[in-house]
């Protein structure tokens, strides 16, 4: 019987380079699988351990872009497997690997049909370069780049609070759920307030997996495991929650986050990142990967003062500054500062203003149901729908977004 350990998932492979590994049991090859999982654009689709089963394994999958064959266990069987694969699937790129710098072995594998050969040990960059060469010679039809087609690029937005309690999580949850209401969208909310996040409470979700669970399995993290780890809300919004234990927040670093966000971006249309208030290294990493950074402000002195300080820091980074947009939350509350004065102090206008509707917001929050479901015809949900439209209108891939949310609101009114 054919051996394989990954199930096909056509949704998760859309923007990834699909990979099958022919990797017989060998101590020298134990780290190979881990190396592939470190390349963000690669989806490890299946792994076979016997040369004679390779074709059967591939037959049970969507056709891969690249097959990697470790030839050391049995050179003759390896070359036969390569030759058969090259004849039956000429558009599949074949990469042969070996621990031995053996000229005859290299020649045999190339004659059999391999297009590239690597001698172990090699680094992730060398491996990535080999995959790109396979793409250049026409054996891979999808360019191995995260996002692949720019018109289909995942939109990543971050919500950053000027202080605690300004409404970052409420905005993240409701904008995420509003985006998810469009059936063409696949949206994930990632709670990056690692110590004190509460997006799971706002959605009334009890998660089976959290960010720290993914980090503990980072070496074998692939799309199948990642998608299985997301908690799904009835609105269609998926959630990746903060760690269960506060102490686990310290184990998550920037490299972990880059890997996870890259994989999520490869198979979702929108990522919404709810950040902490402390500008941890993981927050800076998330900001650097974001298309829009929404700095949430209220008309009170502490919030305005902190926003000025945050803007100064973010503007000092030529990459981050242009992505920052100010969002004024809870407009209509009695405040100790006017909007005009706030604009003067901040040195820029507000990109968006969200009205205050405390009663509706609290009912939504306490029930764990975003307003796109709990209060779809409310004034504040109409504001969120317009906000979502404004975000999506910035990308060509979402030209129809406005008509969808407009009709959603109109039909329910």
Instruction: For residue 307, give every residue at least 6 positions away whose Cβ sits within 8 Å of its Cβ, in sequence order, or none.
Output: 162, 295, 297, 326, 346
- Average pLDDT by consecutive 10-residue portion of the chain (413 residues)? 36 63 72 76 81 84 86 93 91 90 89 92 89 65 39 85 95 97 95 95 94 84 80 96 91 89 86 93 95 97 96 94 97 92 97 95 93 95 96 61 53 51
CA distance 283 to 275: 6
Local structure of residue 331 (DSSP, 8 states): E
Residue from 130, 162, 186 nearest 297 by CA: 162
CATH architecture of 150-412: 3-Layer(aba) Sandwich (3.40)
Length of the chain (residues): 413
CA angle 106, 112, 114 (to 5 degrees): 65
Sign of CA dihedral 373, 375, 380, 382: positive
CB atoms within 10 A of CB 164: 12
Q: Give how far Cα 134 sits from Cα of 12, 92, 131, 370, Å.
A: 22, 9, 5, 46
DSSP 86-100: HHH-TTSEEEEEESS
Is residue 261 within 8 Å of residue 286, measured between CB atoms?
yes
> What is the model's pTM?
0.70
pLDDT of residue 411: 55
**Omega prior to 121 cis, within 30 of 0:** yes
DSSP 20-68: EEE--S-GGGTTHHHHHHTSTTEEEEEEES-GGGHHHHHHTSSPPSEEE
Local structure of residue 242 (DSSP, 8 states): P
Domain with CATH 3.40.50.300 in the chain: 150-412
- Which residues pair with residue 117 across a beta bridge? 96
End-to-end CA distance of the chain: 58
Backbone angles phi, psi at 138, to 5 degrees: 90, 10
Backbone angles phi, psi at 160, to 5 degrees: -120, 125
Among the four given CATH numbers 3.40.50.2300, 3.40.50.1240, 3.40.1190.20, 3.40.640.10, the one describing domain 10-136: 3.40.50.2300
Residue from 35, 266, 29, 17 nearest 134 by CA: 17
Domain with CATH 3.40.50.2300 in the chain: 10-136
CA distance 391 to 212: 30
Residue from 303, 19, 22, 371 nearest 161 by CA: 303
């Amino acid at each position: 019987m054919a051996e394989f350990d990954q199930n096909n998932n056509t949704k998760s492979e859309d923007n990834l380079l699909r990979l099958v590994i022919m990797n017989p049991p060998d101590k020298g090859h134990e780290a190979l699988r881990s190396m592939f999982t470190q390349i963000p654009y690669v989806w490890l689709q299946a792994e076979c351990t016997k040369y004679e089963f390779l074709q059967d394994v591939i037959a049970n999958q969507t056709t891969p872009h690249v097959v990697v064959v470790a030839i050391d266990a049995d050179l003759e069987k390896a070359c036969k497997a390569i030759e058969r694969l090259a004849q039956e699937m000429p558009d599949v790129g074949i990469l042969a690997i070996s621990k031995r710098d053996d000229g005859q072995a290299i020649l045999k594998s190339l004659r059999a049909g391999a297009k590239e050969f690597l001698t172990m040990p090699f680094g992730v960059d060398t491996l990535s370069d080999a995959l790109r060469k396979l793409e250049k010679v026409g054996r891979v039809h999808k360019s191995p780049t995260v996002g692949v087609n720019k018109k289909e690029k995942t939109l990543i937005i971050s919500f950053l609070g000027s202080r605690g309690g300004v409404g970052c999580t409420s905005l993240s949850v409701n904008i995420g759920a509003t985006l998810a209401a469009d059936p063409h969208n696949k949206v994930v909310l990632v709670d990056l307030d690692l110590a004190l996040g509460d997006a799971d409470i706002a959605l009334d979700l009890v998660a089976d997996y959290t960010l720290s669970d993914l980090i503990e399995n980072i070496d074998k993290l692939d799309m199948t495991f990642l998608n299985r780890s997301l908690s799904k809300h009835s609105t269609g919004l998926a959630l990746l929650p903060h760690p269960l234990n506060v102490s686990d927040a310290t184990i998550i670093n920037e490299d972990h986050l880059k890997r996870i966000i890259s994989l999520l971006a490869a198979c979702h249309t929108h990522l919404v990142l709810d950040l902490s208030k402390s500008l941890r290294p993981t927050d800076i990493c998330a900001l650097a990967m974001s298309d829009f950074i929404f700095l949430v402000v209220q008309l009170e002195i502490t919030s305005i003062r902190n926003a000025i300080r945050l803007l100064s820091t973010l503007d000092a980074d030529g990459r981050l500054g242009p992505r920052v947009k100010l969002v004024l939350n809870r407009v209509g509350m009695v405040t100790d500062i006017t909007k005009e004065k706030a604009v003067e102090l901040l040195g820029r206008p507000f990109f968006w203003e969200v009205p205050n509707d405390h009663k509706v917001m609290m009912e939504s929050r306490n029930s764990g149901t975003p307003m796109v479901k709990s209060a779809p015809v409310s004034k504040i949900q109409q504001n969120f729908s317009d906000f979502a439209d404004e975000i999506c209108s910035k990308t060509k891939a979402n030209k129809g977004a406005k008509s969808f949310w407009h009709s959603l609101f109109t039909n329910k009114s």
